[in-house]
Amino acid sequence: MDLRQFATFRVAASDLNGQMRGKRVPSAYAKRLDQDIVRMPLSVLNVDLWGDDIIDSPLVFDSGDADGVLRPTPRGAVPMPWLDIPSALVPMAMYTDRGAPFVGDPRHALQAVIDRYSARGWTVIAATEMEFTLIDDHNSAPLAPINPVTGRPLQSSAILSVRQLDAFDAYFTALYQACQEMDIPADTVISESGIGQFEVNLSHQEAMLAADDAWLFKTLVRGLARKQGFAATFMAKPYPEDSGNGMHLHFSVVDRNGRNIFDNNGPEGTDLLRHAVAGCLAAMPASTLIFAPHGNSYDRLVPGAHAPVSAVWAYENRTAAIRIPGGAATARRIEHRVAGGDVNPYLALAAILGAALVGIEDAMEPPAPITGNAYEITGVPRLAETWEEAVQRFESDTLMRRILPPQLIDLLVMTKRQEMRRFAEVPPEQHWLTYLEAV
C-alpha cells in the first residue's frame, strides 16, 4: 500500500490491554518509518484501561519517562474501512533506543515464544474464533440492538439463525468486504447463543499473523458498528444473565518438512500433543489473568455458562478447557477454550503457546482425558475465581516466568492492581461504559 496517497495515516502498537497506542502522522513519514522517526514513551504501552500512567511504574518518573522507538511490523499497512475519509494504519512494535525489543511490548512477548518453536525447526499454525456482541448503548445500561429489518430491539437469542444474520446483512457484508481489504482471513460467521451475539472465525495461519489479525479485527468490528449506528463489544459478559464472549484458539505445529507434529494417523494424537496439553493444563490456573484480564471477565467464568472453570482436557468435548477436535488426522490440533473476547491476543497466544512448549520441553504427562460434563467433575485444578486471586497467582507462579518476561509480568500486575483500585471507586452499574469498546 502506497501511504503517500493519504494526507495522513496512523501508526500504532498494542499496549498490555490490547488497546492501540500511537500517532497520526503526515504522508512524508511513509518512506522513513523504518528509520526510527516515530518515538513514543515506553510507558505508553503500560497505561491502565483509561490511558493513565501506572502509579510508581519504573517506566515513568524513575526512568525519566524515556522514549522508545516504534518500527513497522511485517504485517504491513492496512486500510481503515471504518473511517469516512480513507486512511491507513501501520502496525508497529516498540524498541529501545539501543535497538532491543522493548520487554513491555506484548507482541515481542509472543515473538519470543514463536522464536523458541523456530529454534526446533517448528512453525505454529493458529486460528481464532472471535465472539462479540452488538449493542444499543444510547441508554444508561447496555440494551439489545435494534433489528434493522423490524426496527425493534432483539428479544431473544437466535443460535445459528440465518434470519438473524440476514437482519444484519449490511453490517456483515461490510465486515467481509473490510476483512478482504485488510487481508484478514475471515471465514464463517454465525449467530451465537447470546442476544445480538455473533462469532467470526479467522482461518488458520502462522501464529503471529493470527495474533495480528485478531488485534486488527477487534478494532474493525467496533469501528464498523459505529459507522452503522450501534456498538460492538468484546466484553466477556455484556449482560449478567446472558452468554459471554470468548476467543477460542486452535493451534497445531508443523516441522520443517511440513508435517503436523500432533498427527499420529489416529484420533488420539502423538506424545508431543499430550505433552503440549499437559503444559497448557499446568499453566492454566496461573494464566487466568491473561485469559480473564478484567473484573467483568469473571462474570463469564462460572459453571454451566459455556466457559471453562477447571483445567481439564477431552476429545470432542466442549465443556473442557482443552478440546482435541475430531476430523482428519492431518489436521490434529489443540483447541484452547478459556480466553474471553476481552483478552489481548498477543498475550493470550504467548501464554498458551509458551505453556504448550514448556510441556513439550519437560515431557509433561496430562491426567486422563475426561468424559461427560466437565462442570460436574471435582478434585481437579481450577482457574482463579476472582480478579484479585488471578493477579496473585500470576505474580507468584514460577512457570509463568518461563513463559513471559519477568518485567512484563511485573508491569501487568501493577496495571491490574491500579485498575482494581479505580473500578472500586466506580458504581458497578457504570463499569460497562469503560469496558464497552476498550477491551
What CATH superfamily classification does 114-435 receive?
Glutamine synthetase/guanido kinase, catalytic domain (3.30.590.10)
What is the distance between the alpha carbons of residues 413 and 288, in angstroms, rounded to a whole number? 12
**Where in the chain do CATH 3.30.590.10 domains reside?**
114-435
**Residue 183 pLDDT level (bands cut at 50, 70, 90):** very high
Question: Tens digits of per-residue pLDDT, 43-69?
Answer: 999 999 999 999 999 999 887 889 999
d(CA 329, CA 350): 25
Q: What residues pair up with 153 in beta bridges, in sequence order? A: 146
The pLDDT confidence band at residue 304, using thresholds 50, 70 and 90, is: confident
Report the pLDDT value the prediction gives residue 62, as an integer from 0 to 100: 81
C-alpha distances (whole Å) from 338 to each of 249, 250, 265, 363, 386 are: 9, 12, 27, 23, 15
Cα gap 275→284, rounded to integer Å? 14
pLDDT at 370 exceeding the cut of 90: yes
**What pLDDT shows up at residue 157?**
83
3-state secondary structure the chain: CCHHHCCEEEEEEECCCCCEEEEEEEHHHHHHHHHCCEEEEHHHHHCCCCCCCCCCCCCCHHHCCCEEEEEECCCCCEECCCCCCCCEEEEEEEECCCCCECCCCHHHHHHHHHHHHHCCCCEEEEEEEEEEEEEECCCCCCECCECCCCCCECCCCCCCCHHHHHHCHHHHHHHHHHHHHHCCCEEEEEECCCCCEEEEEEEEEEHHHHHHHHHHHHHHHHHHHHHCCCEEECCCCCCCCCCCCEEEEEEEEECCCCCECCCCCCCCCCHHHHHHHHHHHHHCCCCHHHHCCCHHHHHCCCCCCCCCCECCEEECCCCCCEEECCCCHHHCCEEECCCECCCCHHHHHHHHHHHHHHHHHCCCCCCCCCCCCHHHCCCCCECCCCHHHHHHHHHHCCCHHHHCCHHHHHHHHHHHHHHHHHHHCCCHHHHHHHHCCCC
User: In sequence order, which residues have a C-beta less than 8 Å from that of residue 114 and are 6 or more positions away?
Assistant: 124, 207, 208, 353
Nearest to 365, CA basis, from 313, 291, 290: 313
pLDDT confidence band for 21 (50 / 70 / 90): very high
**Is the pLDDT reported for residue 303 higher than 90?**
no
Name the nearest CA neighbour of 313 among 357, 358, 260, 268: 268
**Residue range 329-357: mean pLDDT, rounded:** 98
Q: Which of 39-43, 92-96, 152-156, 214-218 has the lowest mean pLDDT?
A: 152-156
Span 99-123, mean pLDDT?
Answer: 98
Distances (CA, A) of 385 to 167, 298, 299, 395, 432: 37, 7, 10, 16, 20
CATH 3.10.20.70 range(s) for the chain read 3-48+56-102
* Confidence label for 231 from pLDDT (cuts 50, 70 and 90): very high
What is d(CA 236, CA 290) in angstroms, rounded to the nearest whole number?
13
pLDDT for position 133: 98
The answer, yes or no, to whether residue 156 has pLDDT greater than 90, is no
Q: Which residues contact 406 (CB under 8 A, 6 or more apart)?
A: none
Per-residue confidence (pLDDT) for residue 371, from 0 to 100: 94
Averaged pLDDT score across all residues of the chain: 96
Q: What is the pTM of this model?
A: 0.97
Q: What is the pLDDT of residues 254-276, one digit of tens each?
A: 999 999 999 999 999 999 999 99
User: Residues of 178-193 as b/e, b for ≥16 C-beta within 10 angstroms?
Assistant: bbeebebbbeebbbbb
pLDDT tens sequence across 391-414 = 999 999 999 999 999 999 999 999
Q: Which three cell numbers stand for residue 292?
A: 480473564
Question: Are the beta carbons of 423 and 295 closer than 8 angstroms?
Answer: yes
Class in CATH terms, 3-48+56-102: alpha beta
pLDDT band at residue 113, thresholds of 50, 70 and 90? very high
Residues 6+ apart with CB under 8 A from 390: 288, 289, 292, 298, 383, 384
Residue 288 has pLDDT above 90, yes or no: yes
Confidence at 422, pLDDT banded by 50, 70, 90: very high
Q: Quick one: average pLDDT of 85-104?
A: 97
Is pLDDT above 90 for 220?
A: yes
